[in-house]
Amino acid sequence: MRVAVIGVGLTKFGEVWTKSLRDIALEAGVKAISDANISAADIDAMFIGNMSAGRFSGQEHLGALVADQVGVSIPSTRVEGACASGSLALREGLSSIMSGLSDVVLVGGAEKMTDISTEFATTGLMGAADEEWEGFHGMTFPGLYALMARKHMNDFGTTHEQLACAAVKNHHNATMNKDVAQYPFEITVDKVLNSTMIADPLTLLDCSPITDGGAAIILCREDLAKKYCDTPVYVTGSGQASDTLALHDRKSLTGLQAAVDASRTAYKMAGIGVKDVDVCEVHDCFTIAEVMATEDLGFCKKGVGGKFIEDGNTQIGGKIPVNTSGGLKACGHPVGATGIKQASEIIMQLRGDAGKRQVQGAEIGMTHNVGGSGATCVVNIFRR
């Protein structure tokens, strides 16, 4: 049984000083409800992706908070899986409908990350890695992905210029997504290369930002979709996989095995191959992550992801447009909301509602959402 998406809602991503976590979560949910042409009373359950509310905002029990703000007494559950929390919430929503427990489900994600210092945020986010073997010894996420980048460069000849091309492309796409994107401005390869070094070889403009933001979608049973929506999009495949928490236990540092496994599951469930995908949102927390994602998902062969991006294959109008929203790099990365933002972008693309960044004729789209340094990965496939 397919599950339909009938509504999406997104807040502005960025440093949102005037809104609290509850404001952000409520805004995204209300927008999704309005877009779906339903009322809160039509919703049977809610699943909310969030990683850091307790540590960063002092607010636990987020499922109940969102139910309170929406004004319903239905089951509402917080879902946590590091930066993949949003996509894990989406999978919970799918399961609820496919099992027959629910007919209509709100799936959301929200994060408030900029009211604390960068140092505190960096330390908190390391909870998504191996605290005992990595965080305790001073490792950070830029450091972890820098190790992957160096290994990829050493093994395959990938260059920093090729990594920079991913950032340049994503910032260009973000200029066409100003209502949501945190950094909707153009950059150049030279600017990436000459920006502040964070963890060699990754510079500031290789890294996604710390972000406030929320996103929500409305799911419903396939047979009910046309009751609410003239242009439903269907979730046809979903895969989730895990890998070791610490990098030192991985078989390889040049790819994410969880991404390979999750995508295989999603492709099989959807009954498609990689060549059928028209548009994709990948988890570009760092530029090397987008390079590895193009390889792990099968868009290109192992080791040539940098050249694949450099040659323009992932631009709008290219072989496989990637991160038309601006990605995590330029649209922003409110970690619990990212997976739902990715889904929202694909849904808008398949509905033909993406404006200047529209991929013409897009019928099948995919999202790739990673938790931590790759210990969790979720891949979802959508069809018009």
Residues that are catalytic: 83, 333
CA angle 72, 76, 82 (to 5 degrees): 145
CA angle 259, 12, 369 (to 5 degrees): 5
Q: CA nearest 316: which of 329, 325, 306, 307?
A: 325
Count Cβ atoms below 10 Å from residue 151 Cβ, excluding itself. 17
Q: Which amino acid is at 52?
A: S
Helices and strands, number each (H, E), in the chain: 12, 11
Q: How far apart are CA 367 and CA 379, in angstroms?
A: 5
Residue written as tokens 């919703």? 43
User: Pairing between strand 45-49 and 76-79?
Assistant: parallel
Task: Judge residue 320's burial from the number of C-beta atoms within 10 Å of its C-beta, 0-12 exposed, 13-18 middle, 19 or more buried.
Answer: buried
